[in-house]
């Protein structure tokens, strides 16, 4: 599959990232720092679970790399990027500050982003739909200590792969997508999100929460999931002409590739 490598300091109209889980050992902070250093945008959406309050409650963990991520985001806001933060369930305390602005970062329950192509996209974390889809026990475990162990194994596997010159590969994502209950949950989640978006007469939705980056169409409604920065290290980007694409920062050594297949999926929706 052909890949397109963005040059140093690539500029996009909009960048959407979620599920960084700062404060959790599984956060791929080094790759995230690399991403933030090499990209700029007019808009930066932080689509929830930026901090992992659940993990920080259990065992405080805040290395310099996590602080550096925060500094880079604050610098972007100070230098003119419009930064919008829609908290998730792991950083739900930040929802108490929705409607306020801190260091030029706007905190909102949800937002409506209009692309340069005129598409109106609902932006929110997505945990709001958990009660609709009724989370399976398997997925609940993946969000608990068991998930932490799985990501620990993921780091070991990729450490070994690097020794042999192999590219990054997510063991956690590989296992998740082969568990029937998890695959079923993802489908129900997408359906619930799309139904809500249609009821608001919007063109599409941009969310996170389930750590599964994707761009797909449900009829005339576009569904975009930003993915995460503990497994797949992905971002959703909007180009100057309004096209939405998935950027996979951990793919191979070039650190930034975009799939032609995902590009083609987004193309019709940007018309």
Sign of torsion over alpha carbons 7, 9, 12, 17: positive
Contact 33, 62 (CB under 8 A): no
Contact 259, 1 (CB under 8 A): yes
Residue given tokens 């162990």 in the structure block:
149
Cross-sheet strand order for the sheet of 221-225: 111-114, 120-123, 204-207, 221-225, 214-218
Residues in the chain: 271
Write down the pTM of the prediction.
Answer: 0.79
pLDDT tens for each residue of the chain, 271 residues long = 344 454 568 999 999 999 999 999 889 999 999 999 999 999 999 999 999 998 898 889 999 999 999 999 999 999 999 999 999 999 999 999 999 999 999 999 999 999 999 999 999 999 988 764 455 444 544 555 556 666 666 666 666 766 777 766 665 665 555 554 555 677 788 888 998 898 898 999 999 998 889 999 999 999 999 999 998 899 999 999 999 999 999 874 345 444 444 444 444 433 3
| Gap between the Cα atoms of 222 and 16, Å rounded | 15
Radius of gyration from C-alpha coordinates of the chain: 17
Measured in degrees and rounded to the nearest 5, phi and psi for residue 11 equal: -110, 135
20's tokens: 């960084």
| Gap between the Cα atoms of 209 and 190, Å rounded | 11
| Gap between the Cα atoms of 201 and 120, Å rounded | 9
Where exactly are the structural domains of the chain? 10-127+206-269
10-127+206-269 placed in CATH 3.60.21.10 = yes
Contact 121, 202 (CB under 8 A): yes
């Amino acid at each position: 599959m052909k890949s397109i490598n963005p040059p140093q300091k690539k500029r996009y109209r909009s960048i959407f990232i979620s599920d960084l889980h700062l404060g959790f050992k599984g956060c791929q902070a080094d790759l995230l720092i690399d991403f933030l250093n090499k990209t700029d945008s007019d808009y930066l959406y932080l689509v929830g679970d930026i901090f992992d309050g659940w993990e920080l409650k259990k065992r405080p963990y805040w290395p310099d790399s996590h602080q550096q991520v925060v500094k880079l985001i604050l610098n972007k806001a100070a230098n003119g990027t419009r930064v919008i933060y829609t908290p998730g369930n792991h950083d739900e305390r930040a929802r108490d500050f929705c409607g306020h602005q801190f260091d030029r970062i706007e905190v909102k329950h949800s937002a409506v982003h209009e692309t340069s192509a005129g598409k109106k996209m609902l932006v929110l974390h997505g945990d709001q739909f958990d009660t609709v889809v009724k989370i399976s026990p398997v997925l609940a475990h993946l969000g608990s200590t068991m998930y932490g162990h799985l990501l620990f194994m993921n780091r070991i596997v990729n450490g070994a792969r690097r020794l042999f010159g192999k590219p990054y590969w997510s063991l956690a994502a590989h296992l998740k997508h082969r568990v029937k209950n998890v695959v079923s949950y993802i489908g129900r989640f997408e359906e619930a999100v799309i139904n809500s978006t249609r009821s608001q007469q919007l063109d599409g939705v941009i969310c996170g929460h389930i750590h599964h980056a994707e761009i797909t169409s449900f009829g005339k409604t576009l569904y975009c999931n930003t993915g995460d920065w503990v497994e797949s290290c992905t971002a959703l980007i909007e180009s100057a002409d309004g096209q939405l694409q998935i950027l996979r920062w951990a793919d191979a050594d070039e650190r930034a590739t975009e799939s032609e297949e995902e590009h083609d999926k987004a193309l019709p929706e940007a018309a």
